[in-house]
Amino acid sequence: MNHLLIAPVLLPLFSGCLLLLAGLGLRASRALSLLATLALLPLSACLLQQAASGEVQYYALGNWQPPFGIILVLDRLSALMLLANALLASFAMLYALRGDDLRGKQFHALFQFQLLGLNGAFLTGDLFNLFVFFEILLIASYALLLHGGGAGRVRAGLHYVVLNLVGSAFFLIAVGVLYGITGTLNMADMAGRVAQLGAADAPLVRAAALLLLVVFGLKAALLPLYFWLPRAYSEATAPVAALFSIMTKVGIYSILRVYTLIFGTHAGELADLAQAWLWPLALLGVLAGAFGALAATTLQGLLAYLVVLSAGTLLAALAIGTQAALGAALYYLLHSTWVAGGLFLLADLIARQRGDKAGELVQGPALLQPQLLGALFFAGAIAVAGLPPLSGFIGKLLLLQALPSGWGAVALWSVVLVSGLVCIIALARAGSTLFWRCGRSVLGSAERDPIRLLAAVGLLACAPALVIFAKPLLDYAQATAAQLLDVDLYRQAILVGGGA
């Protein structure tokens, strides 16, 4: 059995418990947390190399074989998500070590538990354990959002907690209904049983599936369920906001996994259940994110709305559902996760040099590093707005090319182009305010920190890196999409003995 497959879950679990219970000093806690986070990078790269062979592997906990036991599943998609999370978390942790971890208690333990929930959600092959890992990452995110205190964080945290508690209740109800009718929680086994449902059971399963879509849509910031996100992300500390840029991707991953495997084209009466709902809501979500960014009064709020926009773009690709569209979505997912994380870190660097003006989009003092920070903001703005030659342009272009000609293509092209123009205007306004409409003197309290700068540059550098390595990445993304749509391969590997 390939024991390496469970390591992305065990490493943050044991590290978090040790950080919480051992009473380590600050230096030891920082060293352990950084090493545990960085260790996920080679581990994820190794699992990605294994998954690139095209084989679907599973790890049966306690050696209870599926569909009866708890399993973790490694395929191309889960390996890609693990790598995206590991890279983002490494730079976020590096940034946090420069003082953000001192704003509250148990930051490093909470950070590791957040990684535990994220990695577990990407690896689990069991619907109930998807709920369990959701709860782990949500509980950790509640505390991380409030890390540092303040009235703004408390208000944002209250809305975030209440909405996600309601979502968790809906999740549990939906899972209970599906288990009561299908008699299984293993997603591969459930896919076969849903395809054979009788006419009497289909309406109830449809209701449970749509309830699950509401839950995943809440996590993915699908319109109209995104209202918690802008305030929560803009109020969080910079490393937490950067890590949160992958939180919406957990909802998108769950929609992608569940509604291709269980409720995909092989689901009989319930085939392609989500597509009719995702398409209009995703397009409206793109526009809502763009105009929300235009109306934002802070740089962090603007970036939070750009996360909503990127989530809508990804959900539109999922609604198209073809191999080409899903491959483009996976490439764009990497771009939007890493670049958004880098921009949240950059926004904090800018705020630290503006005194009490911080991230407000109003005239403020001169910056200590205007040329360097301005160049980074310009590069990040080009990438996130989808302008050539950076990765955002490639991802959007591939998505537009994936849709056949017709009214759907007209709608998608119109929405993407209009939202792109609005984003350019919003980012140009923010850039001119921060770097041009400013005083001549630099505040004495302005901070210059090369380690924080390195963390922001590391994530923003992913935009040109995704262009340089576009060919192998796109080949992997297209192979991942093909594997994802091959439901029989997934089911046979797990249920017939093709796994470990």
Residue 267 lies in a domain: no
Residue 400 is assigned to a structural domain of this protein = yes
Three-class SS state of 73: strand
23, with CB counted inside 10 A (0-12, 13-18, 19+), is: exposed
A 10 A CB-CB count for 312 gives 28
Domain containing residue 362: 274-468
Question: Where is average pLDDT lowest: 62-66, 73-77, 282-286, 413-417?
Answer: 62-66
What confidence tens digit (pLDDT) does each residue in 164-189 have? Answer: 899 999 999 999 999 999 989 999 89
**Per-residue confidence at 224, pLDDT binned at 50, 70, 90?**
confident
Query: Phi and psi dihedrals of 91, rounded to 5?
Result: -75, -35
**Considering its fold, how many domains does the chain have in total?**
1
Q: Dihedral angle at the C-alpha atoms of 452, 458, 461, 465, nearest 10 degrees?
A: 180
pLDDT of 492 strictly over 80: yes
Which residues, in sequence order, are CB contacts of 155 under 8 Å at separation 6+? 231, 235
Q: How far apart are CA 19 and CA 114, in angstroms?
A: 13
- pLDDT by residue (tens digit) across 105-151? 889 999 999 999 999 999 998 999 999 999 999 999 988 988 877 77
Q: Within a domain: residue 323?
A: yes
pLDDT at 445 over 70: no
Task: Specify the pLDDT at position 114.
Answer: 94
Mean pLDDT of the region 258-268:
86
442: pLDDT strictly greater than 80: no
Query: Cβ(114)–Cβ(121) under 8 Å?
Result: no
Residue 445 identity (one-letter amino acid): S
The contacts found for 190-195 with CB under 8 angstroms, 24 or more apart, are: 190/127, 190/262, 191/261, 191/262, 191/264, 191/266, 191/267, 191/487, 191/490, 191/491, 192/491, 192/495, 194/262, 194/263, 194/267, 194/268, 194/270, 195/266, 195/267, 195/268
CB 140 within 8 A of CB 110: yes
As a whole number, the mean pLDDT across the chain is: 89
In tens, the pLDDT along 23-52 reads: 788 899 999 999 999 999 999 999 999 999
pTM score: 0.93
pLDDT at residue 498 above 80? no
Both structure tokens of 312? 């809508």
State the chain's maximal CA–CA distance in angstroms.
Answer: 74
Find the angle CA(187)-CA(192)-CA(198) to the nearest 5 degrees.
120
Residues 376-414: tens digit of each pLDDT: 999 999 999 988 888 989 999 999 888 877 787 888 899
pLDDT, mean of residues 299-303: 93
What pLDDT band is residue 500 in, cutting at 50, 70 and 90?
Answer: very low
203: number of Cβ within 10 Å: 12
The DSSP result for 114-154, as a single string, is HHHHHHHHHHB-BHHHHHHHHHHHHHHHHHHHHTT--HHHH
pLDDT at position 23: 78
Q: Which of 223, 241, 218 is nearest to 160 (CA)?
A: 218
In a domain, 248, yes or no: no
More confident residue, 197 or 256: 256
Q: What is the pLDDT of residue 286?
A: 94
Mean pLDDT of 441-457: 81
Tell me the CB-side half-sphere exposure of residue 214, using CA atoms within 13 A.
18
Q: What's the whole-number mean pLDDT along residues 427-445?
A: 81
Question: With 70 as the cut, is the pLDDT of residue 154 above it?
Answer: yes
Q: Is residue 444 part of a domain?
A: yes
